[in-house]
Amino acid sequence: MHILLVEDDVKLGELIQYKLKKQLYQVEWALNAESALEFIERATFDIYILDWMIPHKTGIELCKEIRMNKNRTPILMLTARDSITDRVQGLNAGADDYLVKPFAFEELIARLHALYRRKETNWEADTKKFGDTLIIDHSTYEVSRNGVSILLSRREFQLLSFMSQHPKQILSREQLIDRVWGIDADVTLNTVDATIKLLRKKLDDPFPDKIIQNVRGLGYRLVVEGGE
């Protein structure tokens, strides 16, 4: 999992980051909402962990802003507030789960795993539509562009599926390897390039508008409007 931790308590942030990394998770740590939004703009994450009380903009306000931008990434709120009213407020702001401080690290891990499984299950059940341009049916593994059915290999479909979760975002080759092939897979950056080339041949070459862009030195992105 690639996790964004937003926590202004330095000792607690260091401890959480250290323990999550020991579990082999990739963790970025932001001390405030502004830094968190910069991370979100630059990279993709599987889960956000937001502390309720952070400087300038609260975790609740940050949560609302994330959801206003149609970002579906699961959010786990951390807070010392344990009343029903507070929990309802956090969930209504768009949080997916809520963990009260102090907490056992084992419970944090269990909740992260539950959120991750829920995300993967929900995503695989979706039919993703980008207007009339691109339709991806995860239940049948069918893809169509401009009404034309396109047959993809399993790996090509997985690659397109992941890119479609993060439209317009630049995804590095390393990120694609991690999420499509698996971080321990014996593949190279050239493998990513070769698979992208095959995908573009099927998805872009027959059409005048190209939706898979190569951002030199950074990676690739899927440029499509909308997304339902």
Look up residue 207 and give its two tokens. 């059409």
pTM, two decimals, is: 0.59
Q: How many helical (H) and strand (E) elements, i.e. helices and strands, does the chain have?
A: 8, 11
Per-residue pLDDT tens over the stretch 151-208: 988 889 889 988 988 888 899 998 888 878 776 667 889 999 999 999 999 999 999 9
Residue 139 has pLDDT above 90, yes or no: no
Provide the residue count of the chain: 228
Q: What are the angstrom distances between the C-alpha of 91 and each of 48, 98, 103, 113, 116? A: 14, 8, 19, 19, 17
Sequence-separated contacts (24+) of 114-117 with Cβ below 8 Å:
115/47, 115/74, 115/76, 116/1, 116/46, 116/47, 116/74
Q: Which residues pair with 130 in a beta bridge?
A: 134
- In the chain, pLDDT over 90 holds for what percent of residues? 42
Helix, strand or coil, per DSSP, at residue 39? helix
Per-residue pLDDT tens over the stretch 91-113: 888 888 888 888 999 999 988 98
Helix, strand or coil, per DSSP, at residue 40? helix
Domains 2-119 and 127-222 alike in fold:
no
Per-residue pLDDT tens over the stretch 10-34: 999 999 999 999 888 889 999 999 9
Residue 50 has pLDDT above 70, yes or no: yes
Residue 121 has pLDDT above 80, yes or no: no
Give pLDDT, residue 120.
62
- Report domain extents, the chain: 2-119, 127-222
Residue 125 has pLDDT above 70, yes or no: no
- Looking at CATH, the fold of the domain delimited by 2-119 is given as Rossmann fold (3.40.50)
Q: What is the C-alpha to C-alpha distance for residues 206 and 195, in angstroms, rounded to an integer?
A: 17
Give pLDDT, residue 96.
87
Q: What are the angstrom distances between the C-alpha of 89 and each of 68, 73, 113? A: 16, 18, 23
The domain 127-222: what is its CATH number?
1.10.10.10
